């Protein structure tokens, strides 16, 4: 089995896992990963994470030209913005996960640091998550907003829409976006209950020990 064939199957396996656990439903969400030759494999437009076909993924060459597969997701500007601004990005995932979307609707949501510091893992895997305003689905302005961050964030939350996360590879990106949704779920579950979050000192110790991108 070739490296690209393995990557195609891994994309579809991880996407189905997220779909099966209700992290994105219907034909929502999109996912992409770098190939060994510098190209991209991307989920096609209008497809379900539960039923992706490895052989029909959109295939781009290193120059960004579609060379095989179905037409890609309309959210390509989001994906390419992360790849173009973060040299470490090997995969990008975008979900319509319910708890993170709910948290983005709260009037006191922190635009610069969207996730409250409830567990160490949200900090370790995501750093600070930037809350971006609402954009119409498919609007290239979403990509421009990500480019405006100049590669300083690995994750953003699109208000009233869903999270987008870049990782070093497809597994890291999926693990990180699941952590984002889990943290948002905890935040919504404990909302109004005055939960005991991690202290600023706790956060700084995590940032130092795990070399987290934080003060950006």
- DSSP letter (8 states) at residue 129: P
- Give pLDDT < 50 ranges for the chain: none
Whole-Å CA distances, 118 to 114, 126, 163, 199, 204: 12, 13, 18, 9, 14
Residue 8: alpha-carbon gap to chain centroid: 18
Catalytic residue among 3, 4, 9, 75: 75
- CA 149, 150, 156, 159: dihedral to nearest 10 degrees? 30
pLDDT score of 1: 80
- DSSP letter (8 states) at residue 70: S
Specify burial of residue 136 (Cβ count, 10 A radius: 0-12, 13-18, 19+). Answer: exposed
* Cα distance between residue 188 and residue 78, in whole Å: 26
Whole-Å CA distances, 52 to 10, 20, 44, 87: 11, 13, 8, 27
* Cα distance between residue 39 and residue 156, in whole Å: 23
Three-state SS at 193:
coil
83 is catalytic: no
Residue 20: alpha-carbon gap to chain centroid: 18
pLDDT score of 83: 98
- 8 Å CB contact between 4 and 40: no
Handedness of CA 181, 186, 188, 191 (dihedral sign): negative
Catalytic residue among 4, 121, 171, 213: 121
* Cα distance between residue 37 and residue 62, in whole Å: 7
**Domains recognised in the chain with CATH numbers:** 3-209 (3.40.225.10)
75 is catalytic: yes
pLDDT score of 158: 98
């Amino acid at each position: 089995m070739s490296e690209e064939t393995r990557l195609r199957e891994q994309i579809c396996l991880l996407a189905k896992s997220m779909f099966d656990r209700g992290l994105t439903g219907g034909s929502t969400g999109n996912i992409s990963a770098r190939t060994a030759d510098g190209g991209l494999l991307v989920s096609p437009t209008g497809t379900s994470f539960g039923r992706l076909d490895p052989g029909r993924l959109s295939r781009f060459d290193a120059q960004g030209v579609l060379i095989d597969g179905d037409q890609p997701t309309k959210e390509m500007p989001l994906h390419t913005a992360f790849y173009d601004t973060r040299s470490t990005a090997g995969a990008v995932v975008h979900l319509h996960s319910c708890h993170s979307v709910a948290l983005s609707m709260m009037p006191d949501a922190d635009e610069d640091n969207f996730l409250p510091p409830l567990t160490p893992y949200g900090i370790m895997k995501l750093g600070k998550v930037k809350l971006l305003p609402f954009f119409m689905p498919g609007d290239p302005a979403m990509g421009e907003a990500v480019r405006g961050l100049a590669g300083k964030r690995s994750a953003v939350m699109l208000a009233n829409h869903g999270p987008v996360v870049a990782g070093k590879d497809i597994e890291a990106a999926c693990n990180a976006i699941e952590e984002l949704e889990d943290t948002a779920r905890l935040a919504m579950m404990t909302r109004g209950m005055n939960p005991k979050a991690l202290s600023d000192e706790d956060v700084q110790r995590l940032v130092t020990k795990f070399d987290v991108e934080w003060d950006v």
